[in-house]
Each structure stands twice: as structure tokens, then as C-alpha cells.
Amino acid sequence: MQENHLKPNEEEFQDNSQDLINASLLFARALGLILKENEGIVVDVVGDIKLGEEVKKVIVFKFENQVHIYKCDEDIPEGNAVNMDTSAAKEEQE
């Protein structure tokens, strides 16, 4: 049985794939408006999210005006803000 995520107050409503795609695109757009360039947030991969057993956390961040998702291998608590700008680190190495 399909679950109703988009209209929980309507008992007979069932999500369809286009509704879920639209919701995902809207959330991505909203995040793109909220986040600054190279800014991200750590998110635990829990529940229905299936990215592989080795993926426990991801970083959702904005880069070049797009929202990206990157596997987080470090032990950073969920909800922490992260800076994904590596240009400063590259300049230090040179």
C-alpha cells in the first residue's frame, strides 16, 4: 500500500510518482534559495532513504547555483553547517 505524504488530511489520496518528483524539486529549489554558495548541512540517512549500507550521512550543499548531495565520511553531527569551499585549502597547499 502506498503512503500519503503530500495530502495527509485526505484519506483516499495516494501519492503518485510525479507528485513526489515535484515535491523533491520544490524542496531542492527552496534549499537553493536558503543556502549560500558552498554552504551545506549534514543530514543523517534514515528511514526510507536508501543510498547503500555504507552511506550513513550526507552533506546537502549549494555549488554553482545547484543543490548537490555528497556522502559524508566524517563524524559530524546531523544539522551542523559545513563549508564545502576548498579554494582556501588549495591555496594553502601551494
pLDDT in tens, 14-24: 778 888 888 88
Q: Could you give the CA distance from residue 14 to residue 3 in angstroms, rounded to a whole number?
A: 6
Contacts of 85 (CB under 8 A, 6+ apart): 37, 38
- Per domain, the residue ranges of the chain are 1-34, 36-93
pLDDT at 46: 81
Contact 38, 63 (CB under 8 A): yes
Sign of the dihedral defined by the CA atoms of residues 62, 80, 85, 71, in that order? negative
Average pLDDT, the chain: 85
Residue 1 pLDDT: 38
Residue of 40 and 17 predicted with greater confidence? 40
Which amino acid is located at 3 in the chain? E
Euclidean distance between CA atoms 36 and 51, whole angstroms: 25
Looking at residue 43, its amino acid is V
pLDDT at residue 40, as a whole number: 97
